[in-house]
Structure 1
Amino acid sequence: MNNESVDIYPVKGQCQCGQVTFSLKAAPKMVIACHCKECQKLSTSAFSITTIVEASNIEINGVLHDSSRVADSGSVNVGKFCPGCGNRIYQINPVAPEMIKFKAAGGLDNTSMIIPTMHVWTREKQTWFTIPEGVQQFEKQR
């Protein structure tokens, strides 16, 4: 994450169809690119971006539907998504609801602060993708 000016916050955004809106009130704690096969399926791309934010620093409006799965680590991930377009908005671990894994950062009106500072599950990454030099990387979940 770069040293973005606090002047950009709040940053507003929405899902693809506009039924769910959100406002990021402060800089994310962390921005992670996950290269696991599940995230490749979720994002229909080489990796997904997760911004870790404090629940108090994000406002989400609109009806959300739930899905849940147990990760390889044993952690439960509850995903919240828009019922209209299916965009995943965020995930939480029920034992740590104060931290949100915000998945819809690409829907923000300003994405300049969404720069991955860590890449995880790199053992499953697409061979053609090169992780920038100097960025933390882990073969599995950290």
Structure 2
Amino acid sequence: MANAQCSCGALRLALPEKPNVVIACHCIECQRRTGAPFGAGAFYPAEAVTVSGFGKQYTRDAVSGGKVHSYFCPNCGSSVYWKADNLPSMIGVALGAISDISQLPAPAKSIFEQSKHHWTQIDAAGEHFQQGSVARPSS
């Protein structure tokens, strides 16, 4: 098992060894959530993750519809994980919260590149999207 936690250790997650996918997200909301030019998350099956401690929830509207529920530690403020209404079977975990990064692959997708900082580049990502993570037909 892998672990993730906030800075003070009050909010912890027990995770499977390997995530289903790792994604770099350049949307404005992820930039605000992380205070960084992009958010990076590992996605795990929700039923395989055990949460210990109390996370304060912040809910926002998702660009793709539905809501995104972010959980952070009320003690230290670290953003640790999130759940999206449009993807109820998965939990996204902030890469910076994961203790053993040696088993994490590079991001497979780089999404919402329309709001990407011009100096960032996720070369390892196999797929790049201007908006969400699903290709949309050109208009």
2:39 pairs, out of 44, 48, 60, with: 48
One-letter amino acid matched to 1:58: V
* Contact map agreement 1:12 1:24 (CA 8 A) in 2: yes
Going from structure 1 to structure 2, the CA distance change for 1:60 and 1:37 (only over 3 Å counts) comes to same
* Contact map agreement 2:59 2:69 (CA 8 A) in 1: yes
Deviation, structure 1 residue 57:
2.1
* Structure 1 residue runs of 4 or more that deviate by more than 2 Å after TM superposition: 93-98
**Are 1:107 and 2:97 counterparts?**
yes
- Which residue of 2 is the match for residue 13 of structure 1? 4
Going from structure 1 to structure 2, the CA distance change for 1:127 and 1:66 (only over 3 Å counts) comes to same
Q: How many residues align?
A: 132
- Which residue of 2 is the match for residue 33 of structure 1? 24
User: Mind listing any 5+ residue stretches in structure 2 that lack a counterpart?
Assistant: 134-139
Partner-residue secondary structure (3-state), 1:32: strand
Moved more, 41-50 or 130-139: 130-139
Deviation, structure 1 residue 126:
0.6
* Contact map agreement 1:26 1:57 (CA 8 A) in 2: no
* Contact map agreement 1:51 1:114 (CA 8 A) in 2: no
Deviation, structure 1 residue 122:
0.7
One-letter amino acid matched to 1:137: H
| 1:72-87 alignment runs, 5 A limit | 72-87=63-78
What RMSD in Å do the two structures reach over aligned CA positions? 1.7
User: Mind listing any 5+ residue stretches in structure 1 that lack a counterpart?
Assistant: 1-9
Identical residues among aligned pairs (%): 29
